[in-house]
Amino acid sequence: MFRYRLIRAPLLSGSLCIATVLACAQHQILPDFQADPSARVFHGRLYIYPSHDLAGNKDWEMFDWHVFSTDDMVHWKDHGVIFSLKDITWAKQHAWAPDCIERNGKYYFYFPADDQIGVAVSNSPTGPFQDALGKPLISRNEAGIRSIDPAVFIDDDGQAYLYFGNSSGKLGVVKLKPDMITRDGPIQVLDLHNYHEGIWVHKRNGVYYFSYPSNRGDMVANLMEYSVAKGPTGPFEYKGVILDNRSRNVHGSIAEFKGKWYVFYHVAGPSPYERRVCVAPLYYNEDGTIEPIKMVSDKKAAAQ
């Protein structure tokens, strides 16, 4: 586990302090090796649905998904494998970043496999899950967007949206019917500044926040950036960078738990294909913007 300490420091432009930066050391919370954490709160407990890197991986070859949970952000329970490529017939590789949501007492697990997106269902947030359709919910390259990285969002009016995609500046979204396994209308393609992949959507004080890795940065997709909107499909106003994980590839989620906000993300472990899930507190300014987070070394954080 990584040591963890917070400091507040000014972000300077010339001689003027233009914002506040939250600085912290990387704080690993899940055992080796997990990545792409989707954080959800169900009935007062926080659950993380990550992808699962294998030790010794030389590429992103992944085959199953675990879920972890906590009630105090300190002690985490591994509930084991909740779903696997062995549980479906239509794909055999690339069990990448998933998401999960609850509706009407059931839990819907959205997962990518071989550049397609499926949905599985369970009566429990810890599974076991079963393939709900026996086929992809979103097929390969629909609407010209790579079908990976699903993120599901239910708005206050009950309308569900499934976001997805790896495409430069283009985000896919489709409405879901109340059964959560049937599409309701065509896929829309949204223009989202600096978007690369790994979308996450949350809502706070009536504002829709879209956070995602960009394809910028000096270590390949290591910047988590965000835009805001007044509706679930835009138009969007770009706001800037949330964090730089100082690793090849970042992917994460934002959630409120017991009155505090957190950003969950991964960093490279021994290699970019053996990743570790970390967490940092998240703060909002009075105008609703997110305070940027600066990652520093353990030694530097301890010295502050």
Q: Where are the domains of the chain?
A: 6-303
Query: Which architecture, in CATH terms, is 6-303?
Result: 5 Propeller (2.115)
Q: Quote the CA–CA distance of 148 and 164 in Å, as a whole number.
A: 6
From the candidates 53, 142, 149, 197, give the one annotated as an active-site residue. Answer: 197
Question: Could you count the other beta carbons within 10 Å of the beta carbon of residue 285?
Answer: 10
What DSSP string describes 24-81? EE--B-S-SSEEEEEEEEETTEEEEEEEEPPTT-SS----EEEEEEESSSS--EEEEE
36 tagged catalytic? yes
Q: What's the pTM value of the predicted model, to 2 decimals?
A: 0.91
| pLDDT class of 142 with cuts at 50, 70, 90 | very high
pLDDT over 80 at 15, yes or no: no
* 84-128 per-position pLDDT tens digit: 999 999 999 999 999 999 999 999 999 999 999 999 999 999 999
* 225-284 per-position pLDDT tens digit: 999 999 999 999 999 999 999 999 999 999 999 999 999 999 999 999 999 999 999 999
Question: Could you count the other beta carbons within 10 Å of the beta carbon of residue 245?
Answer: 26
193-219 mean pLDDT: 96
